[in-house]
Every structure is written in C-alpha cells, then in structure tokens.
Amino acid sequence: MSTRKPATIAVRTGIESDTQHHAVVPPIYLSTNYGFPAFGEVPKYDYTRSGNPNRGLLETALYELESGTGAVVTNCGTSALNLWVSAFLGPDDLIIAPHDCYGGTYRLFNTRANKGDFKVRFVDQSDQTAFADALAQKPKLILLETPSNPLVRVVDIADVCAKAKQVGALVAVDNTFLTPIFQKPLELGADFVIHSTTKYINGHSDVIGGVVITKSEQHAEELAWWGNCIGATGTPFDSYMTLRGIRTLGARMKVHEESSKQILSFLQTQDLVGKIYHPSLPQHPGHEIAKKQQTGFGSMLSFEFAGSFEQLKFFVGQLELFSLAESLGGVESLICHPASMTHRAMGEAALAEAGVSQQLLRLSVGLEDAEDLVADLAQAFAKAKESF
C-alpha cells in the first residue's frame, strides 16, 4: 500500500511507466487484442474486456487513493453498482440500501429485486431503530451513500461497519460526493468503495465511468471475474481520460471546498435563502459525524429558496455562471432543481418522504473564481427581488 499522500498518488500513478519510448505520460492502448508470445503462453493482457493497460493504471490509481488492494473500472457508476450486486447476491440474499440513495441506484436494485434476482430493503440509515430492524434480517450486503443527495445527510460509516460485522454483512460506501481526498471508507471499516467516476474523480464532465474498489484481494478477483463475465468493464479511452482527470484531483477538491465556504457565507446573508443544507454548518444534524470521518465537507450544497416558485424560476434564469443541468463534480458550476430534474422520477409522495421540496435548489460549486460565483448569485438574487 502506498504511504504517499492522495494528491501525489493522483499525479504520479503510471508516470514514466512506458518502457518502449520512455513517454512521461503513459500512452493509450486502443487495441482490442494482444499477441500471445508463444503457443500456450498467455500474456498479461489478451483481450480488452478482461484487461487493458490504461484501465489497469486507472484501477491502480483508484485503489491506492482509497487504500484498497484491488479495483474494477466499469463503464459507468451504475454498472459498478450492478457488478457489485451481481457478484455477491443470490435470490435469497438481502441488500440494505439508503431510502434516499441515488435515483438510478434505487431503480436498479428495485427492478432487479422485482425480477427475483435478490431481495432489497430501503432504509433510513440515520434512524437507529429502522436500521437495527433491517440488520436483524441478516443482510448479505449494505450500501451507504454519505453524504446523500440532495440533502447531504451524513451516516456514521465506522458505526454501521461495526454493526454489519456482527451479522456478517459486507459494506460498500458510495464515495462519489467526497472522493478519497475527503473520505476514506475502507479505513473506517468498509469492505468496498464505489464511485461514479463521472463526477469529481474525472472532474471535467466529459467521461461516464465507475469503479468498485475492494479491501480484500479475494473480493478483487471475484469482481474482476464478474466484470469480464457480464461485460461491465470500462473502455481504454475513457480510462485514459479519467486518469488524466485524476491528475488534478487533489488541487481541484481544495478549490471546490474553499469556494463552497465563500458561497455558504454569502448565502447565509440572503433573505431569499431559507434553510441551507451542508455538513459544515454546525446546525446540520450530521455535522459532528462529518467532522469525525471526513477531512473536508465537500462542495455539494442545497438550500430552500425563500421566495415564490415563480421567483425561484426567474432567479435560476438570471444566473450566468451556474448552468441549469444535472450531474455534479465538474469544473463548471451547476444549479439543479432536484424535484423537476434529478429526482423527478420519484413522484410526489416519495419526494416528500425524502424531504425534497419544490423550493429546493442544489449547487455543485465549480472551479470558476469564487468572487465571480458570489457576484453572479448576488446579481440574480437582486434581480429576483426587484422584479417581484
């Protein structure tokens, strides 16, 4: 395991590894197949679905960043989750997932459970009684997503992992929102880390990808076997691009975090801003746990717009530096209205239960200059006030 700091691992993995021309940056291997040196001699890579040098380097970077021992890079975050459940669940096995998990994760688990592939229970993991009740049913797998989307609820990873061990369950943490720069679930007792690398890991909103990272070598082998079996693995070009994105992960996360602080202080001064959701705020219910298990609070935040719904729509339309779009974690700042965008498939009742109101807006704070971002929000709030 590397003892180097994450930013160093992110920059250096695979640098100067080319033995043919001594290219400093590892070259891209698009070839689908590789020659056998001699009859019966199987090379390290033979066919790209099962292995490729670019995907291999990305896997190394990712498991070293998360202090794991192995990883399988997949073609998207959803297929990473699908790979994980395919490898470890049978028809009689139960998985516990958060009631407010990523919408695509909910759809995947629910649909496959309805087909009889496995059993699933969606539980409010911050509700101790509900969680203990679910644990009593002896789940095989537990998925955590902390902080959650869009209300950035925080779950105590070490506590859940300790309880899971007692019933023999394996725990995975979807670490998409914080990345290993701010949270290392394997060090807190988790068995797997899953990412949608589409978000902060690649960081430039131009590659869809995912990964399952393991603590044990045996799990890594099982997942690699399953990744090849069901064809879930990522392409060489996407792997190359994602490793290129990772080079700046340490630097990017610092600026994301710093700018979020400035935006949060500004939002707190605005009359058109109601409740703000971010784990850095002392009144946030997960603040103490976040301080304990995270080394940064992250740059995803939500707030209730305190004007009318018409005013909210007008405000969003006035913004010049926050694009109205789904996804998150890229260099560009985004604003999202979860009820009509990312979470629209949930229906009114489920939205209400998850606490996602029509007034809720979510920001993914990007890497533009923070003063410009604050000025942009300020002008849009001012216009929203004048015009109504």
Ligand X SMILES: *Cc1c(COP(=O)(O)O)cnc(C)c1O
Residue 204 and residue 199: Cα distance in Å, rounded?
8
Using CB under 6 A as the binding rule, whether residue 343 contacts ligand X is answered as no
Which of 210, 168, 219, 207 lies closest to 81, judged by CA?
210
In the complex, least distance from residue 101 CB atom to ligand X, rounded to whole angstroms: 8
Select from 51, 185, 210, 236 the one that contacts ligand X (CB under 6 A).
Answer: 210
- Sorted by sequence, the CB contacts under 8 Å of residue 20 that are 6+ apart come out as none
Using CB under 6 A as the binding rule, whether residue 78 contacts ligand X is answered as yes
Cis bond before residue 53 (omega within 30° of 0): no
Phi, psi at residue 94, to the nearest 5°? -110, 140
Residue with the shortest CB distance to ligand X: 77
In the complex, least distance from residue 16 CB atom to ligand X, rounded to whole angstroms: 30
In the complex, least distance from residue 132 CB atom to ligand X, rounded to whole angstroms: 25
Select from 53, 77, 245, 298 the one that contacts ligand X (CB under 6 A).
Answer: 77
Residue 373 and residue 322: Cα distance in Å, rounded?
8
What is the per-residue burial (b if ≥16 Cβ within 10 Å, else e) of 251-263?
ebbebbbebbeeb
In the complex, least distance from residue 385 CB atom to ligand X, rounded to whole angstroms: 33
Residue type, 289: I
* Contact call for residues 334 and 322 (beta carbons, < 8 A): yes
Compute how many other C-beta atoms are within 10 angstroms of the C-beta atom of residue 165. Answer: 13
300-305 and 323-324 strand pairing:
unpaired
In the complex, least distance from residue 153 CB atom to ligand X, rounded to whole angstroms: 12
Among 29-37, 76-84, 121-129, 225-233, the segment contacting ligand X (CB under 6 A): 76-84
Using CB under 6 A as the binding rule, whether residue 105 contacts ligand X is answered as yes
Nearer to ligand X, 77 or 286 (CB): 77
Using CB under 6 A as the binding rule, whether residue 208 contacts ligand X is answered as yes
* Distances, alpha carbon 301 to alpha carbons 72, 151, 349, 362, in Å: 30, 7, 23, 6
* Contact call for residues 179 and 149 (beta carbons, < 8 A): no
Which of 259, 355, 266, 335 lies closest to 298, judged by CA?
259
Among 33-41, 73-81, 275-283, 378-386, the segment contacting ligand X (CB under 6 A): 73-81
What's the gap between Cα 129 and its chain centre? 27
Residue 303 and residue 312: Cα distance in Å, rounded?
12
Which of 363, 367, 377 lies closest to 150, judged by CA?
363
Site string for ligand X, 134-163 (x = CB under 6 A): -----------x---x--------------
Residues carrying an active site annotation: 49, 102, 174, 199
Among 64-72, 195-203, 311-319, 371-379, the segment contacting ligand X (CB under 6 A): 195-203
Alpha helices by DSSP H, listed for 170-308, are 179-182, 217-230, 236-246, 249-267, 287-293
Select from 63, 102, 118, 297 the one that contacts ligand X (CB under 6 A).
Answer: 102
Nearer to ligand X, 86 or 176 (CB): 176
Size, binding site for ligand X by CB under 6 A: 15
Nearer to ligand X, 232 or 384 (CB): 232
Nearer to ligand X, 160 or 370 (CB): 160
Which of 69, 19, 77, 24 lies closest to 242, judged by CA?
77
Nearer to ligand X, 51 or 77 (CB): 77
Using CB under 6 A as the binding rule, whether residue 76 contacts ligand X is answered as yes
In the complex, least distance from residue 24 CB atom to ligand X, rounded to whole angstroms: 30
Select from 67, 86, 176, 299 the one that contacts ligand X (CB under 6 A).
Answer: 176
Using CB under 6 A as the binding rule, whether residue 106 contacts ligand X is answered as no
Nearer to ligand X, 176 or 233 (CB): 176
In the complex, least distance from residue 125 CB atom to ligand X, rounded to whole angstroms: 14
Residue 79 and residue 77: Cα distance in Å, rounded?
5
Residues at the interface with ligand X (CB under 6 A): 76-78, 102, 104-105, 145, 149, 174, 176, 196, 198-199, 208, 210
